[in-house]
Amino acid sequence: MTSAANEKSAGLSGERLRILLEQLTGQSLPLTDQPGVLQQVAESISAGQSLGYSQFNELLLNVGYDRVDHEFFLYLCDPRAVRSSGNGTPEISSSDGLKEGINAFRELALLLYGNVKYGFKVLSKDAARFSHFISQFRRERSDLEFRSRHEPLVRLKRIDPKDTHLLGYISGGEIKKRLEADPQNPDFKAEKARLDEVIEVGRWNHNVYLTFDHLDVYVATSMREKHEFVFVSEFMSRLETEPHIRDLKLRIFDPTAAYCPDRLDKGLAEALMLKRAACTVYLAQESDTLGKDSELASTLAQGKPVIAFIPEMSDKFWRYLQDTFRNIYPEEPEEEMFLRLLKIYNPGAAWSDNELRLHISGQTTMDLTSLANRAREAVRLHYDKRAYTLKESHPLALQTNLSSGVANGVLVVRKIDACAQLIKQILLNKMQFSVEDKDGYVLLREVISGSIFRVMTADRLLTNSFWNFYNR
């Protein structure tokens, strides 16, 4: 070992060094440390000595592990420098530096394989593959590539949020039925004319999306009611103007701006966009549909990130909800608005809440404040439950990449700015993670969302069977 002149390491014990090596390799020490080399190396590092490539391999061999390639060792020494320039410090000079290098490798192994042991076995001896994967998965991209993009040759056309519901099959069908029942009604004629105008714009936009040379983000939604179209349209406007991404000239599929008249063509077109987009934003709304959930699963099955946006209750969000419903249904009394919200977010309350049941039946009367509080609480509980289910409890929030077998987790965010920040990090290859060891499991947790993105199971039988039967 040589002296590290400028950096002293924090204390490192032989036991702690053993744990670090087991974390690096994904397996327990194969040999008993008879020479006491772990304690010797730990004391040397603690005293400010550095550990070189040949010495690191000798350490591994003494405790039963295989040697590693030089490129792999350089990454352990200085992962940040290797990711940015391909070069770094050629020695380990502190326990903190060793821990950082091991965690950086574990992140890469979990991202690529969902398994640290397999990642060590494959990458520690293949310099070319290792360098390729660092470049692909951990080397950051410059935002200049996005900022310098040219505008689309054919531009999208804007649709007013209040008119977006006209692109829905249900809304269009209702308008056509009304006109068929009363063909001479001037209001119905005007409705049909406006419907035709909006659908024409939607068809235009659909074709524009198909010819985009690149597509960055796909937005998965379920929309039936008028307010759902408005909510999604306004979400899109706010997302695209967020400071994190507004200057990146991103191409984001807006489901409230496109119209495809044939359900089969629509399915094929959206499958194509899911294939092309770098990530999917999944909007957890009042209700979910087979189509939206399948888009989530399809994205994860391709090994791409899914960001689930679930609103978080606040005074601002509650005011926004009320203002939106007042604008959509301007003639509806406040009482009806709160009852409408309760019907959407807690339909069972009409039976389970005795006071509300008596109010609806006209036997008693509740004041507006009580109705408003119940409606607000119903909205809060609905979205909090959706967030908890996707982030903490639902097993299908982790889906397997069909080509690699790696399990991918849904990234749950509650604020639009966090959603935009995460989109930027995904596109620029800047996602940040923490590695956690919990009850034998190894978890890769994304920092902004706090969600589990990868997992290495503690079940040894499951691991053995999975990789024996799953084709890499």
422-453, pLDDT tens digit by residue? 999 999 999 999 999 999 899 999 999 999 99
pLDDT confidence of residue 174: 87
CA distance 373 to 366: 11
> Which tens digit of pLDDT belongs to each residue from 156-183?
999 999 999 999 887 778 888 988 899 8
CA distance 453 to 409: 4
Tell me the pTM.
0.90
CA distance 308 to 300: 12
Query: What is the mean predicted confidence (pLDDT) over 74-87?
Result: 86
pLDDT confidence of residue 315: 96
122-136, 145-159, 310-324, 428-442, range with the lowest pLDDT = 122-136
- Give the pairing type, strands 441-446 and 398-400: unpaired
CA distance 251 to 276: 11
* Structure tokens, 433: 């993670």
Sheet containing 433-438: order of strands? 433-438, 441-446, 452-456
Asked if 169 and 261 count as a contact pair (C-beta separation under 8 A), the reply is no
Q: Where are the domains of the chain?
A: 2-139, 143-431
Q: What 3 state SS string does 35-79 have?
A: CCHHHHHHHHHHCCEEECHHHHHHHHHHCCCCCCCHHHHHHHHCH
CA distance 439 to 103: 18
Which of 16, 27, 123, 117 lies closest to 75, judged by CA? 123
> Which tens digit of pLDDT belongs to each residue from 22-68?
999 999 999 998 889 999 999 999 998 999 999 999 999 999 999 99
**Helix and strand element counts for the chain (H, E):** 21, 12
pLDDT confidence of residue 140: 87
